Structures are given as C-alpha cells and as structure tokens.
Copies of this chain bind each other. A is one copy, B any other.
Amino acid sequence: MRTLVPFDATDPKTRLAGLFTPSERRDLAGVLLADVLAALRAAGGDPLVVATESVDCAAPVVVDERPLSEAVNARLDAGTAVVMADLALATPRALARFFAADGDVVLAPGLGGGTNALVVRDDAFAVDYHGTSYLDHLRAAHEGGLSVREFDATRLALDVDERADLADVLVRGEGEAGAWLREAGVRLDRTGGRTTVTRSE
C-alpha cells in the first residue's frame, strides 16, 4: 500500500533535548525512520517520505515545507496510508494487519489522542493533525458517512516523544533504535514511580 511517512528533518525530538544533543536527536530520528521504513516494506508498504527538508533514507523523499496536515492532504488519495516516522515498536506483522483492516478510514490512535497511522479508502477524507486528532478524525469520518475502524495496537500507539517512551523501545523494540539507545548509554531506570531511562556515557 502507498504509504506517506511525514518526517521532521529540521529539529526533531525536541522533548528529548535533556538527553541528547541536536545532532544526536537528528541521528535518532533517522534511525527511527529507517526502522519504520524497513517494517513498512516488510509489510508490503510502498513508502514515500514527506520531509521538511531533504533527508537521506531508503525510500523516495519529497520535500514539502508546508504544515504537516497540508503536506499530507496534498498527497492523500484513496488507498493511501499515513504512518508516523517514530513508531519505534512497529513490526511488519502489526503493519500488515493494519493495512488489511477493513474500513473507509482505519485509525490507529496514539497515546494522548493523536493519530499515529491511518488508511484512507475514500477521496473525501482529509487529515487534521492539530489538536486531539484522533477524536477529530473519528468525527470527520462519521460526518462524511464513512465507515471507521479503530485499530488498537500498542505497536502503533507508541511514538517516541518523551523520555519515558524510550523505556518501551528498550523493552519491546525490535528495530535498530534500541541498539542505538544502548550504544548511547541509555538504560532502564525504575527507581522512580514509572519506568523511564537514564543516560550514562
């Protein structure tokens, strides 16, 4: 399935600035992107990276400086998927099941109300990533008379934004990002209430 993969090549992963330098954050974002692209291809996806600036990766890239929703909608034909570039737990198996799910619109919610992945099978649907996009996308599909399927999977719900998200990458990630984190000295830390990570060089 044709799959748009939006990618912030400019200043990615700002909420990890306490752990990593800007250069390291760009490296990590690139490794996460590579993991997602590999999983997509293994699941039968045909990825097109929609990036804020040029990036070197194992897929075609189009640079589009417009805001995320505009850049995606400009390319969102029926039969297209959109998958975020930082879904570090995504496996070929989870993505293949996602592609195969029925529905005019298939939504994979992220934690906190975002939309981490979607499949669109009707030209009338447009994305709007501003705000609590999962609820907005549900509403838009219902208002458009489209059938909607919620695709519930942690492997697509976990995007890498915060320090605590890295714990899940260390525990369950199957791509290269886990190795990158370990190489950078990132380790599980369970001394506080919630499992998170610390870094030692």
User: Interface of A with B (CB < 8 Å)?
Assistant: 14-15, 94, 109, 111-114, 131-132, 134-135, 152-155, 157-158, 161-162, 164, 167-168, 171-172, 188, 190, 193-196
Contacts and interface: CB of A to CB of B under 8 A. Distances in A.
Number of copies of this protein chain within its complex = 2
A132 B193 contact: no
Given A153-B152, A154-B157, A190-B132, A167 B109 contact: no
A96 to B, nearest CB: 13
B113 A167 contact: yes
A13 B146 CA distance: 39
A195 B113 contact: yes
Given A153-B154, A154-B152, A188-B132, A194 B94 contact: no
